Amino acid sequence: MVSPLVLDGGLSSLLELERGPLHPTLWSAALLVASTGGQGKEAGERAGKDGHNNDDDDDDDDDDDGTSHVFSDTNHRAVIDAHRAFLEAGADILTTVSYQGTVAGFKRDMGLSEEEASHAIALSVTLARTAIHEHQQAQQQQQQQQHIERDKHSSSSSQAPRTLSSSWASSRHLLLHPPPHGTQQHPQEQQHEQQHEQQQEQQPRPLVAASIGPYGAFLADGSEYRGGYDAERLAQFHHEKALILWRARPDVLAFETIPQASEALAIVGMMQETLPEAPYWLSFQCCDAHRLASGDDVTAAVASLVTAFDEQRAGSLIGIGVNCISPAIAAPLVTAIARCVGRRRLHVLCYPNKGEAWDADTRTWGPIPTADVGDGDGVGGFGNGGDGGDVGDGGDGGDGDTAGPCALTSRAWVRRIKAAGCTVVGGCCRVFPADLAQMVRCVKGDIEGGNRRDKAGVHG
């Protein structure tokens, strides 16, 4: 069975930890506006030019995706550095800092024009691409130096190490072309997959998922954790932002923290009608193991999406999942989604919070509930008995404000999620690079210390 792809962690949480409280309504998206008051218009224009991200454009030079730009503004630099921290932790996929950003929100809260707001949103993809470019340059230099050192100590020829780029090519193909879910591939299928991978981009790289929050994120009143808002304008709301981001050329669009079934169906209809070629996933926010934040039944909501997929009314949907949930309810939710997905070529995604309780009214994090810490059955990931006590080395989440138990760093939790059918796993709020690094060791079966991911942590 192929190991799950690893999504990054709590990008906004890391930025908040390093820089202090974020904007009250735009959250980390406010950092897309330069600290000097500019909007990074030129870079945004380059990233947001007309044209979609397709295989015919994959051989464009670095300048086309903004990776040749040098960002010195402190806001933009902070976003790039945070992305790099998750890359160093081993993330296969980066999510952009655009979750809370909308044209209307930037106009309302920062006084931007519509054009400036659009450029700011598009810039989020450019910043992620820049982080990838810088990270790969550093890794390639490190590999070259290691190869030189090996040559000094050996007169015999040795096989060159596998390049990072070939690894990312495999990841890109796996994300955009999910295998039949829950099945072993036939040898002929495996051969076809390998041949297809060889035809991927000349210079593949880690993947960029352009983050699109729900309508409730624009309202900035915690509605994404409750649902229940007027859905009349949902399709138009999501269309505007999806079009801006897709023109910025990410690998995939990520509709996240969706609280109700009606919003998910509105997104599916919009994507089928206006962006049928754009790969995307949908991820729900849930209040418990059976219900979405709105109270809608999880199984019924997922089944409606699967029906749209079967009837070819879902555009280029590549996955369904859950995020911003308690780790304690992740496994049953993944199981429910995987059962609905069956053998279809759809990913099952899961990227929970660290486990602390979020109060949408006070916008603060409380302590991890006792039930989430584990009662010995492994549900919480760090109980004192059974699999729940099986915590990976170094899985305490780092130092300072990041310290404390994190279910996502438990080998038992990762095994449970993989067994349930998860094919893309990561973290959401308060999951820091050190947490993700330990998750990567669990996911990839790399429990040994001393590799590059051990060095990843919270900077600053």
Q: Tell me what pLDDT residue 230 has.
A: 61
Q: Where are the domains of the chain?
A: 1-31+71-144+204-366+405-448
User: CA distances (Å), 400 to each of 49, 369, 373, 414, in order?
Assistant: 42, 20, 19, 25
Question: Taking a C-beta distance cutoff of 8 angstroms, is the pair 438, 395 a contact?
Answer: yes
Q: Tell me what pLDDT residue 181 has.
A: 63
Provide CB contacts within 8 A for 261, sequence distance 6+: 292, 294, 296, 300, 301, 304
Which token pair is 193?
């997959």
Question: Taking a C-beta distance cutoff of 8 angstroms, is the pair 206, 132 a contact?
Answer: yes
Question: Taking a C-beta distance cutoff of 8 angstroms, is the pair 411, 392 a contact?
Answer: yes
Residue 165: DSSP 8-state? H
324 is in an annotated binding site: yes
Q: Which of 93, 112, 105 is nearest to 38 (CA)?
A: 112
Which token pair is 284?
């729900």
**Cα Rg, the chain, nearest whole Å:** 21
Q: 381: buried, middle or exposed (CB in 10 Å: 19+, 13-18, 0-12)?
A: buried
1-31+71-144+204-366+405-448 falls under which CATH superfamily?
Homocysteine-binding-like domain (3.20.20.330)
Residue type for position 250: P
Distance CA 86, CA 434 (A): 9
C-alpha of 296 from chain center: 24
Q: Which of 337, 351, 353, 354 is nearest to 421 (CA)?
A: 337
Q: Tell me what pLDDT residue 62 has.
A: 43
422 is in an annotated binding site: no
Distance CA 328, CA 378 (A): 9
Neighbouring-strand partners of residue 348:
320
Q: Which of 79, 94, 66 is nearest to 35 (CA)?
A: 79
Q: Tell me what pLDDT residue 99 has.
A: 93
Q: Tell me what pLDDT residue 389 has.
A: 34
Q: Tell me what pLDDT residue 75 has.
A: 92
Which token pair is 35?
């600290």
Question: Taking a C-beta distance cutoff of 8 angstroms, is the pair 229, 223 a contact?
Answer: yes
Q: Tell me what pLDDT residue 228 has.
A: 57
pLDDT tens, per residue, the chain with 460 residues: 578 999 999 999 999 888 877 887 887 888 999 876 555 444 444 443 433 444 444 444 444 444 445 566 899 999 999 999 999 999 999 999 999 999 999 999 999 999 999 999 999 999 999 999 999 999 888 888 877 877 776 654 444 444 444 455 567 778 888 877 654 555 554 554 454 444 434 334 699 999 999 998 777 666 665 655 565 678 889 999 999 999 999 999 999 999 999 999 999 999 999 999 999 999 999 999 999 999 999 999 999 999 999 999 999 999 999 999 999 999 999 999 999 999 999 999 999 999 887 677 777 777 776 555 443 333 333 222 233 333 333 333 333 344 456 778 888 999 999 999 999 999 999 999 999 999 999 998 744 433 444 444 433 3
- The DSSP H or E segment spanning 234 is helix 234-247
Question: Taking a C-beta distance cutoff of 8 angstroms, is the pair 271, 246 a contact?
Answer: no
Provide CB contacts within 8 A for 146, sequence distance 6+: 161
